[in-house]
């Protein structure tokens, strides 16, 4: 096995860790996933893990997590009748205002406008 093959496997496992986090009760118990918690789940140091993710994706591990978080939020807002606040809490945000601010930074519109447009 080459190092590149192993690195790609880490990226796939990282996706699995993130997906498992969002379908479990972890968002309510632990909040948002962090680089350190994902690295720990993969038995890697946070710095090494961050370097691997940047090398494979061109994004920092934190940016990757944020993108996944926004994708999950979009999906949940469009597939359920839950309020924006409920979606925020389900994803692990302590405050819906933080979710709305981060969503607008990444998407360019507020969660409510996004939901109304789609």
Tell me, what's the pLDDT at 8? 66
Tell me, what's the pLDDT at 51? 93
- Biggest alpha carbon–alpha carbon distance for the chain: 48
| Cα distance between residue 76 and residue 86, in whole Å | 10
46 to each of 38, 49, 58, 65, 88, how far by Cα in Å? 8, 5, 17, 13, 26
Residue 95 tokens, joined = 């405050």
| Cα distance between residue 41 and residue 21, in whole Å | 11
| Cα distance between residue 68 and residue 17, in whole Å | 11
- Give me the CATH number covering residue 36: 1.10.10.60
Task: Look at residue 7 and tell me whether its pLDDT is greater than 80.
Answer: no
Residue-wise pLDDT for 39-73, tens only, equals 999 999 999 999 999 998 899 999 999 999 999 99
- The residue range of the domain holding 69 is 3-117
Q: pTM of the predicted model, to two decimals?
A: 0.82
Number of domains within the chain:
1
């Amino acid at each position: 096995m080459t190092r590149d093959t192993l690195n790609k496997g880490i990226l796939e496992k990282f996706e699995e860790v993130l997906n498992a986090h969002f379908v479990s009760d972890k968002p309510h118990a632990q909040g948002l996933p962090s680089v350190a918690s994902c690295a720990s789940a993969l038995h890697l140091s946070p710095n090494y893990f961050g370097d691997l993710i940047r090398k494979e994706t061109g994004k920092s591990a934190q940016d990757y997590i944020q993108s996944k978080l926004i994708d999950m939020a979009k999906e949940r807002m469009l597939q359920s009748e839950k309020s924006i606040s409920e979606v925020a809490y389900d994803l692990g945000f302590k405050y819906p205002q933080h979710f709305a601010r981060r969503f607008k930074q990444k998407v360019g519109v507020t969660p409510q406008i996004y939901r109304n447009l789609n």
